[in-house]
Amino acid sequence: MSFRSLRYTALVASLLITAGCSASSEHAGTPAAAQPASPSPVVSVPPGPVPPSPVPSGPQVRPNIVFVLVDDLSNDLVQYMPNVLKLQKDGTTFTNYTVTDSLCCPSRASIFKGQFPHNTGIIKNHGSDGGFRLFHSRNQEQSTYATDMKAAGYRTAFMGKYLNEYFAKLTMGTGKPYVPPGWDEWAAGGNAYDNFNYDLNENGKVVKYGNKPEHYMTDVLSAKASKFITTTAATGQPFVLEVSTYAPHSPYTPAPRDAALFPGLKLPRTAAWDKVPENSTWLPKSMKLTKVQIDRMEVEFRKRVQSVQSVDKMIGDLRQTLTTAGIADKTLVIFNSDNGYHMGQYALPSGKQTAFDTDVNVPLIVAGHGVRAGQSVEQIVENIDFRPTFTDLAGVAPSPETDGHSFKPLLAGEVPADWRGTALVEHHDPATDPADPDYQYDSKNIPPSYDALRTTTFTYVEYVDGAVEYFDRTADPYMLKNVAGTLTPERLAELRTVLRGMATCVGADACGAVSRKIK
């Protein structure tokens, strides 16, 4: 997916100025309803040498990590987040970051474990093949990036949404509200999608929050995160902090102060709007959005933009806390989403789970210690790479069970010669249960189970029924034409071999070797 031109960067800046925005303040108004002209709203950076961020002199620094993970954020929301745009200007953007599955729990499990879903065994949000209970019963929590970093001498904290089916009151046989191993500070809850009237398990004690404005969950998490940063900075101990918001997941509830922002904002109509891709193997050719669906999505998109304002404010506040604590130059700030989201593209109502870039290619932006400013990286990075990256930053060896590789060199502008050639996306047992928070209630048109390869130039998909799709994203960036029928038998055989190898690989060496076989 290509990124925005400088002309669009200027447009974004003018919109933010019109809205009364700054890199450290909330929106005071509404940007003009200019619609995106390309698939991704992330700011482009001109080629050429860029200096690294200042690195403290003296002994090797083991940097702190502030990892902000949001829920269901699509690329088209970034343009409305001035603090994220500032983070992008100050750091590195990974333009081909790809999730292992466009579904919450499998993606989050990959982050914690550094493994593909076929190795975590978490392929759904709940039930017999997914969710927190399965993750726990398989003893997956005994070895995560949290246990790695704690063993490396880091102070660890988790705040917000953990895994689907986790609830603050669960004891898991311990006799008290359950806190997973590896975490020094814990403040997590479940089913807090409305951001009000929720429980948090705060270090083994359940605390209830109501519907007062100050109870809005993103703000509560932000305050807790700032306190953790301040208190830990005073000790001199390095730390890793994950803040995992429920925003902007449906029902897209904004903070009360943001609920009137962006009046009249329109849902973007890209080239993929209400169009079924040519030769689609699973979408009916005649499928069109209904007026009811369009009207609902217009409201939903505006609420999504409103709901990310609190996330954006949190990022600005946390960066200011780091500066005040005197550790900004010793800290990496990471912004990421568990998966993307489509709204009207491909004639699909609001949802995810597909292999389209709207759903699997999401923002990954990193700024801070040792990170090159204003850099765009095209290499393929996945959520299996966080765990080995964190341990690399901590100066310890990665767990042998991880399938991913450290992207620390990429942050400094270095590209390892053996870097992977493709991402694997595997989506099985789709969310068709109405009890699932990701159930797509107004459409039966969710994809069959599939495995997919996503490189910097194409996407290849194999569905459970044997159907295949191939999108040349260089010639067709919106993925509007399946050209699998034009491939030679030899090329199809090559793609199938690599995909089968990726979908069954175990460990970083094996998975990396298979990924490099693709051309």
Which residues form the catalytic set?
104
Q: What is the dihedral of CA 429, 433, 438, 440, to 10 degrees?
A: 100
| Amino acid sitting at position 254 | P
Nearest to 203 by CA among 224, 177, 228: 177
As a whole number of angstroms, the distance between CA 101 and CA 383 comes to: 9
| Amino acid sitting at position 77 | L
Nearest to 469 by CA among 451, 455, 456: 451
Which phi and psi (to 5°) does residue 113 adopt? -95, -25
Encoded tokens for 390: 């964190």
Q: How far is CA 333 from CA 28, 40, 86, 383, in A?
A: 26, 22, 12, 16
Q: How far is CA 282 from CA 60, 278, 451, 464, 516, in A?
A: 53, 11, 14, 11, 29
Largest CA distance in the chain: 65
For 162-219, strand residue ranges (E) read: 185-189, 198-202, 205-209
- Whether 7 and 44 have beta carbons less than 8 Å apart is answered as no
As a whole number of angstroms, the distance between CA 248 and CA 362 comes to: 14
Query: What are the strands of the beta sheet with 423-427, ordered from one edge?
Result: 423-427, 450-454, 458-463, 468-472
- With both helix axes pointing from N to C terminus, report the angle between 104-113 and 386-394 in degrees, rounded to the nearest 10: 30
Tokens 């870097």, located at residue: 419
As a whole number of angstroms, the distance between CA 499 and CA 519 comes to: 12
- Whether 130 and 212 have beta carbons less than 8 Å apart is answered as no
Nearest to 262 by CA among 298, 295, 302, 309: 302
Q: How many helices (H) and strands (E) does the chain have?
A: 13, 16
- Whether 156 and 185 have beta carbons less than 8 Å apart is answered as yes
* Helix residue spans in 159-270 (DSSP H): 217-235
As a whole number of angstroms, the distance between CA 434 and CA 295 comes to: 22
Cα angle 378, 379, 383 (rounded to 5 degrees) comes to: 115
Residue 309: in which H helix or E strand, if any? helix 291-324
- Whether 297 and 350 have beta carbons less than 8 Å apart is answered as yes
Encoded tokens for 251: 């029902």
- Whether 100 and 360 have beta carbons less than 8 Å apart is answered as no
As a whole number of angstroms, the distance between CA 445 and CA 236 comes to: 52
